[in-house]
Amino acid sequence: MKRKIFINQNLKDKEILKIEDPEIIDRINNVYRLKINEELFFVGSDLFEAKYLLKEKNKNKLIFQFREKIKRNLLPLKNINLYLSFIRKENFELILSKTFELGIKKIIPVKSERCSWTIDKISERWEKIILKGLEIADWNYLPKIERPLDFFDLPPKTYILDRNGQNITEINFPKNVSFFIGPEGGLSEKEYQFLRDNNYQLVSLTKSNLRAETAFFIFASILNFS
């Protein structure tokens, strides 16, 4: 796998790239141990990816020179939006860190009744976690995370992951797919009644209980890699 670093700036038309972020400098110097005239790949927040050569280095700044643009041509099989309940924070962020690799286009946190915590704004940390996926996968799109949504505002055609739903193998999913993963405590009776009243489709991966992150990995993989 090629060595690649996401940098939160536009790289298009940038012949000379100056790196002054201490965290990135430390990674280049002490993890990659890059030497003068060795190459490194960068991908910017404008989805521009290119090969650069290290030309100058010191403790506080690295200078790279553009060498070659890299084309990103891959797109997932499906256009997927993930509606994700506020599950345990470390598992929530684990899912965020894998969304781009699994071809998720958009993530929308959801405030449901049995969530143990919620927030109203998206943190910069979450945006960085998602965009770091650009270092791994080669999809040709920018992933997005949107402001949290109330459960009762879920779009009508959202698929609800639930072990009592229709088996996933029996469903012919459309090109554009939205799906919801609930909290560890499950949905309340009021929320289930809302789903019944509005004809949401429940989808089952198995009759056994699954953790939210496990269900996410399975469902996203089936949609985009099967």
Q: Quickly count: other Cβ atoms within 10 Å of residue 182's Cβ.
A: 23
Burial 71-106 (b: 16+ CB within 10 A, else e): ebeeebebbbbbbbbbbeeeebebbbebbbebbbbb
Looking at the structure, do residues 211 and 140 belong to the same domain, yes or no?
Answer: yes
CATH number of the domain bearing residue 43: 2.40.240.20
Looking at the structure, do residues 174 and 210 belong to the same domain, yes or no?
Answer: yes
pLDDT average, residue stretch 27-54: 95
Contact call for residues 110 and 183 (beta carbons, < 8 A): no
* Long-range interactions of 189-192: CB distance < 8 A, separation 24+: 190/113, 191/112, 191/113, 191/151, 191/152
Looking at the structure, do residues 132 and 25 belong to the same domain, yes or no?
Answer: no
Domain final residue pick, 50, 70, 90: 70
> Which backbone phi and psi does 122 adopt, to 5 degrees?
-90, 130
Nearest-angstrom CA–CA distance, 59 and 52: 19
Looking at the structure, do residues 134 and 159 belong to the same domain, yes or no?
Answer: yes
Looking at the structure, do residues 56 and 115 belong to the same domain, yes or no?
Answer: no
- 11-22: pLDDT as tens digits: 998 999 999 999
**pLDDT at residue number 21:** 94
Looking at the structure, do residues 119 and 204 belong to the same domain, yes or no?
Answer: yes
Tell me the one-letter amino acid at 206. Answer: T
Looking at the structure, do residues 107 and 145 belong to the same domain, yes or no?
Answer: yes
- 85-143: pLDDT as tens digits: 999 999 999 999 999 999 999 999 999 999 989 999 998 999 999 999 999 999 999 99
CATH number of the domain bearing residue 108: 3.40.1280.10
| Domain span including residue 198 | 79-225
Decide if pLDDT at 173 tops 80: yes
Looking at the structure, do residues 49 and 130 belong to the same domain, yes or no?
Answer: no
Looking at the structure, do residues 186 and 161 belong to the same domain, yes or no?
Answer: yes
| Backbone angle region of 188, left / alpha / beta, with phi > 0 → left and psi within -120 to 50 → alpha | beta
Record the pTM: 0.91
CA-based R_g, the chain, Å: 20
Share of the chain above pLDDT 70, in %: 100
Domain final residue pick, 46, 70, 94: 70
> Which backbone phi and psi does 144 adopt, to 5 degrees?
-135, 150
pLDDT average, residue stretch 206-221: 92
**pLDDT at residue number 17:** 97
Domain final residue pick, 51, 70, 89: 70
pLDDT average, residue stretch 68-82: 95
- 43-57: pLDDT as tens digits: 999 999 999 999 999
Q: How confident is the model at residue 208 (pLDDT cuts 50, 70, 90)?
A: confident
* CA-closest candidate to residue 20, choices 65, 63, 50: 63
Contact call for residues 168 and 203 (beta carbons, < 8 A): yes
Number of domains composing the chain: 2
Looking at the structure, do residues 95 and 35 belong to the same domain, yes or no?
Answer: no
Looking at the structure, do residues 24 and 100 belong to the same domain, yes or no?
Answer: no
Looking at the structure, do residues 58 and 88 belong to the same domain, yes or no?
Answer: no
Decide if pLDDT at 1 tops 70: no
